[in-house]
Copies of this chain bind each other. A is one copy, B any other.
Amino acid sequence: MTGLRYKAKIIYDGTHFSGYQIQPDERTVQGDLEKVLTKIAKGENVRVHGAGRTDAGVHARGQIIHFDFPFDIDPVGLMTGMNSGTTSEITILDMERVDDSFHARYLAKGKKYTYRVDNNRFRDPFLRHYSHHHRYPMTREKVEQALKQLVGRHDFTSFASTHSDKEDKVRTIYQASVKVDEDTNEWVFTFVGNGFLYNMIRILMGTLLQVADGRREPEEIKEIIAARDREAAGPTLSPSGLCMETVYYDTEDIPGYHKEG
């Protein structure tokens, strides 16, 4: 069945979901979205396509979806209906009708993710689902030196899960930066790239925290990339710190694209 194609932005708190992608007997974001859409479509199945498949516990502020709806319905009305039908863990924004050629995943040119680290000695209760807790003192200058070495086009085999099914492990990182919130002691890392391998940001972060607290030197990042060996990098950090912020469909919109692209 085809129908009218709709695109929307989705915000979700991933804490209590088994990830984005639909799975039997698991609660997923895609599953919740399809359930409410199928209900609004009076029982006709609606399949939802997301720009990226976030893992269990990973959040999104700017996941993009598209789907074909079986009948003509006002985008704002559809968005309001979806927001009424989903729990307060998911919010649907910016719904619009798009051309049939639009595809949330295939046409994505880049993505922005953040990864948050709670650097308080004792975990901040308000950050517990949205940050990775790391209690050791961290040196910002060293972190920034390490981040610089990640920017560019590299084979990121060392930073990919061994379960990754992608053959080609070359990706471009356009921007890698960190901001520190002095009030809450939260470090917010931002990564912009043309794509990220499975677990890539969580493994990058496991390695960056080793640099941050002095267990590794910033210069080692280059060697780790060159090794093309998952064993060379640090551990995979928890999903809770990770958030999909933006999906780019136009390279003009990607921060740092012209510098590196």
Q: Chain A: residues with CB nearer than 8 A to chain B?
A: 11-13, 59, 61, 83, 88-93, 120, 122-126, 128, 130
A125 engages B89 (CB within 8 Å): yes
SS class, residues of chain A in contact with chain B: mixed
* Among candidates B91, B122, B130, residue contacting A124 with C-beta atoms closer than 8 Å: B91
Copies per complex of this chain: 2
A130 engages B126 (CB within 8 Å): yes
Residue of B nearest to A14 (CB): B125
11 contacts between A and B (CB under 8 A): A11-B124, A11-B125, A11-B126, A12-B125, A13-B125, A59-B126, A83-B122, A89-B128, A90-B125, A91-B124, A91-B125
**How far is it, in angstroms, between the C-alpha of A120 and the C-alpha of B11 when the chains are bound?**
13
**How far is it, in angstroms, between the C-alpha of A116 and the C-alpha of B228 when the chains are bound?**
48
Q: 17 other contacts beyond A11-B126, A13-B128, with CB at 8 A cut-off? A: A11-B124, A13-B125, A13-B126, A59-B126, A61-B126, A83-B122, A88-B125, A88-B128, A89-B128, A90-B125, A91-B120, A91-B122, A91-B123, A91-B125, A92-B122, A93-B122, A126-B130
Residue of B nearest to A91 (CB): B122
A212 shortest CB reach to chain B, Å = 22
**How far is it, in angstroms, between the C-alpha of A124 and the C-alpha of B83 when the chains are bound?**
11
Cβ contacts under 8 Å, A61 to chain B: 126
> What 10 A-B pairs have minimum CB-CB distances, sorted nearest first?
A13-B125, A88-B128, A91-B122, A83-B122, A89-B125, A91-B125, A88-B123, A11-B125, A12-B125, A13-B126
Cβ contacts under 8 Å, A92 to chain B: 122
**How far is it, in angstroms, between the C-alpha of A120 and the C-alpha of B12 when the chains are bound?**
15
Residue of B nearest to A61 (CB): B126
A155 shortest CB reach to chain B, Å = 35
Cβ contacts under 8 Å, A123 to chain B: 88, 91
A211 shortest CB reach to chain B, Å = 26
